[in-house]
Structure 1
Amino acid sequence: MKFLFIIDSISTLKAYKDSTVAMLHETGRRGHELAVVRPADMLLRDGVVQADVKSVQVSVDDDAWYALGVKTRLCLYDVDAVIMRKDPPFDTEYLYTTHLLSLAEQQGARVFNKPGMLREFNEKLAIAKFPQFTVPTLVSRRMDEIKSFIAEHGDVILKPLDGMGGSSIFRVCPDEMNLNVILEVMTQLGTRTIMAQRYIPAISAGDKRILLIDGVPVPYALARIPAAGETRGNLAAGGRGVAQLLTERDKEIANTLAPVLRDLGLFLVGLDVIGEYLTEINVTSPTGFVEISQQTDINVASIFVDALERQCAG
């Protein structure tokens, strides 16, 4: 089979930790033909979605783990699967890429995750579809509403709707001396919508990433445990990743969401769970493959490629 991965520049990927690299290694190990493309090298010409791609060979050498071929142009419907692994932020260029991918789908391409669902599922807002699993949450750009929410709940997390890796997340209380400034900056003086959530003390035990692959939960979550003095568990913010078997509550959340998300065309999903609560539904470029695989007897990339092969064969 031939798989096309849409990524940021391949030179930015880290062989020792990136889930996309794990996917490339596993697909390459099985003898599949691999190619990569940046969103900037996709185009619509004469009504057909095309891309200037480069073939890629992968090796186990972390210092020289890939070798690129020459650039060639192909139509997206000519590959067996298009795997969208472009990292956020979900800006206008990301949006335009999903529109091109939707057109490619209409022309016969198989795209994972489904581009229409990438547009529909804002990773923060999507939890509102499953309120039975969430803490009290407010989404607003109005500073008075946000301050009222903080006064009501006392200890609150503020986050932008388009962030990743724990960037620009604040923990605030009503007596925070810089509260006005924080809200002014985050909402850009009331012109930018943000999310406020009641703080969950269980973050000290980790912000768990639960992976769903084609509607099936991976048996282990990756608990991202905050560094000393930190509120954020994100690995990009210094958190430590520890693989843990899913708890009964984790399974309840995962097994409820998995078939719903699969039927919507979300092939790979990362649920973020803190304690008993669902906090995010990650659909753009979920990670955690490498850490879980290194610490357990589960090869997450193998599960992913098994499911991908089944989808393409079907």
Structure 2
Amino acid sequence: MKIAFLTDPLSHFKIYKDTTFAMMREAVKRGHSIYAFGPEHMALESGVVVAQISQVILTGDSQDWYRLEAASSLRLSDFDAVLQRKDPPFDMEYIYATYLLELAEQQGARVYNKPAAIRNHNEKLSIAQFSQFTTPTLVTRDEQRIRAFHGQHQDIILKPLDGMGGAGIFRIREDGMNLGSVIETLTLNGSRTIMVQRYIPEIVDGDKRILLIAGKVVPFALARIPQNGEVRGNLAAGGVGVAQELSTRDLEIAQTLAPILHQRGLLLVGLDVIGNCLTEVNVTSPTCFQEISQQTGFDVAAMFIDALEAGSV
């Protein structure tokens, strides 16, 4: 197979933990050829979606781990698979990229996750489709609604709808200290919609990342445990990842969502679960392959490439 990765610059990768690198390594191990490009390299020319794409050669060196062949302008439909692995922010440039990828699909490209499915599944708001698994949640830009929600639940979390890695998450406790300032900051004085949720105390045991691949559930989760008084378990915010078997509730959530999300064109999904509650549905560039594999021996990248080879969307 020829596999093209739409991703962030390879020079930014931390290969000891990067999920996209794990995918690349497994693909090369099986004899597939891999390529890379960024959204800035895409163009629509004469009605055809093309990109300046470079073949990636893995060197096996832990420092200079890759070499790029000279870039060529190629149709995305020339590849057996195009993997959308660009991290947020999910801004208008991200959306424009999904439009181009969707056009490329119409021209024969096989894109994973499907660009329309990525657009349709905001990673925070998508949990509202599965409210039987969520903590009490409010989505609004209205200060009075937020204050009323805090008055009802006392201990709450406020977060932007377009963040990643735990950025912009605030906890407000019973005393309401700084609530007004946080509302002003996150809503940009009432001009931006945010999410507010009742605080889930089980966060001390970890924010669990559960992976779904082609409608099947990876049997281990990575519990990202907050450190040093943090409310955020995200690895990017200093959380420590501990792999563990799925609980009965984890399985209930994962097995309910897996076939639904797969049918919608999402090959790879990362569910975030705190305690018994679903908190996010990650579809842009889910991670944690390497941490789970290193701690449990379960080869997540192999499961993913198996699904890719089977054309499982």
Residues 213-259 of structure 1: per-residue CA shift (max 9 Å, x gap) = 00001000000000021110000000000000011110000000000
Amino acid paired to 1:305: I
Distance in 1 (alpha carbons) for counterparts of 2:16 and 2:125: 31
User: Which residue pairs with 1:211 in the alignment?
Assistant: 211
Partner of 1:281: 281
What does residue 177 of structure 1 align with? 177
Q: Does 1:262 align with 2:255?
A: no
Give the residue type in structure 1 aligned to 2:37.
V
What is the letter of the counterpart of residue 243 of structure 2?
A
Q: Distance in 1 between matches of 2:116 and 2:172?
A: 35
**Offset of 1:175 from its aligned partner?**
2.0
Which deviations, in whole Å up to 9, do the C-alpha atoms of 1:231-289 show, x marking residues without a partner?
A: 10000000000000011110000000000000000000000000101000000000000
- SS at 1:130 equivalent: helix
- Residue segments in structure 2 that go unaligned for 5+ positions in a row: none
1:17 maps to 17
Note if contact 1:147-1:174 (Cα within 8 Å) is conserved in structure 2. Answer: no
Q: Kindly, what percent of the aligned residue pairs are identical?
A: 59
| Counterparts of 2:244 and 2:125, CA distance in 1 | 26
SS in 1 for 2:49: strand
The corresponding residue for 2:119 is 119
The residue type equivalent to 2:22 in the other structure is A
- Please, what is the CA RMSD of the aligned residues? 1.0
* Alignment partners' CA distance in 2, 1:67 and 1:294: 25
- Aligned-partner SS, 2:311: helix
| Comparing 273-282 and 169-178, the one that deviates more | 169-178
Secondary structure at 2:69 match in 1: strand
Q: Given residue 259 of structure 2, which amino acid in structure 1 is its aligned partner?
A: P
Partner SS, residue 82 of structure 2: strand
Q: For each residue in 1:185-231, what CA deviation from the matched residue of structure 2 results, as whole angstroms up to 9, or x when unmatched?
A: 11000000000000000000000000000000100000000002111
Check whether the contact 1:211–1:218 (CA below 8 A) recurs between aligned residues: yes
| CA distances 1:77-114 after superposition (whole Å, capped 9, x unpaired) | 11000000000010000000000000011111000000
Q: Which runs of 4+ in 1 moved over 3 A?
A: none
How far does residue 174 in structure 1 lie from its aligned partner after superposition? Answer: 4.5
Question: Distance between the aligned counterparts of 1:179 and 1:101, measured in 2?
Answer: 41
Q: In the aligned structure 2, how far is the partner of 1:151 from the partner of 1:60?
A: 56
**Partner residue in 1 for 2:128:** 128
TM-score, with length taken from structure 2: 0.99
Distance 1:295 1:305 in 2: 20
Contact 1:243/1:291 (<8 A) preserved: yes
Give the deviation of 1:303 after TM superposition: 0.6
**How far apart are the structure 2 equivalents of 1:101 and 1:62?**
32
Write out per-residue CA displacement over residues 157-187 of structure 1, whole angstroms, 9 at most, x where no aligned residue. Answer: 0000000000010000252332111110110
Match in the other structure for 2:31: 31
Distance 1:295 1:198 in 2: 32
Q: Structure 1: state its 5+ residue gaps.
A: none
- Determine whether 1:303 maps to 2:303: yes
Answering whether residue 95 of structure 2 is matched by residue 95 of structure 1, we say yes
Correspondence for 2:163: 163
Q: Which residue of 1 aligns with 2:44?
A: 44
Q: What aligned pairs does 1:229-240 form with structure 2 within 5 A after superposition?
A: 229-240=229-240
Between the aligned partners of 2:59 and 2:255, the Cα distance in structure 1 is 36
TM-score (norm 1): 0.98
2:291 paired with 1:291: yes
1:61 Cα deviation from its structure 2 partner = 1.9
Conserved? CA contact 2:209–2:288, under 8 Å: yes
3-state SS of the aligned residue for 2:152? Answer: helix
> Partners in 2 of 1:59 and 1:300 — Cα distance?
22
Contact kept? 2:113, 2:268, Cα under 8 Å? yes
Matched residue type, 1:140: T
| Distance in structure 1 (CA, Å) of the matches to 2:59 and 2:282 | 29
